[in-house]
Amino acid sequence: MAATPPVCDFGWQAVDGILPSVHGNEHQISELAGPGGLVVAFICNHCPYVKAVIDRIVQDARDLAPLGVGFVAICSNDAEAYPDDSFARMKEFAMQHGFPFPYLHDEDQSIARAYGAACTPDFFGFNADLKLQYRGRLDAARLDKPGPDTRRDLYEAMVMVARTGEGPAEQVPSMGCSIKWKAAA
């Protein structure tokens, strides 16, 4: 089922936490920020929206790194109900797509809940002070193959954030599969 997150809540403080990485270590989210900011992307392995854009996500992360913008992806889906999103499959997915950023597992879904993540992909762009400046789509192509003039919303917003500390006033929400929440106990 498709879901759309709410608009950007400018200035909202990033939630910190320590999560396991597919590379066998743990990362503290705040420590992944660069001097230009941080992108926190909620993704998963099985979502057709993520599959359609994953190589563009990887490219944006690579293009933002020289600007001092850190990048992290987090999978929070219920892996029991969706085995393609298991930790073992996350490792395969990251390797298959050459992730240049940590891919973290939010097994108890506490980080996704704290962020108010709504869908995969869901992008949160923070400035150097870890204040939210962008919550929007990756690009204007969405599921389609981008053309030469396709607007790279996330990349352009984070370039602005890295340079000025502030994101664009107008943002188009992301759209994707809803987060697969675990049943309440």
CATH number, domain of 82, equals 3.40.30.10
In a domain, 38, yes or no: yes
In a domain, 154, yes or no: yes
Kindly tell me if the per-residue pLDDT of 185 is higher than 60: no
- pLDDT value of position 2: 67
Report CA 84 to chain centroid distance, whole Å: 18
Write phi, then psi, for 154 (nearest 5 degrees).
Answer: -60, -50
In a domain, 95, yes or no: yes
* Rounded CA separation 116/145 (Å): 29
DSSP calls for 106-158 = -TT-HHHHHHT--EESEEEEE-TT-BEEE---S-TTTTSPP-TT---HHHHHH
Q: How many domains does the chain have?
A: 1
In a domain, 184, yes or no: no
In a domain, 131, yes or no: yes
In a domain, 106, yes or no: yes
The amino acid at residue 139 is D
pLDDT tens digits, 123-154: 999 999 999 999 999 999 888 888 889 999 99
Residue 183: pLDDT band with limits 50, 70, 90: confident
Residue 154 structural domain: 2-176
Residue 1: pLDDT band with limits 50, 70, 90: low
* Rounded CA separation 158/59 (Å): 13
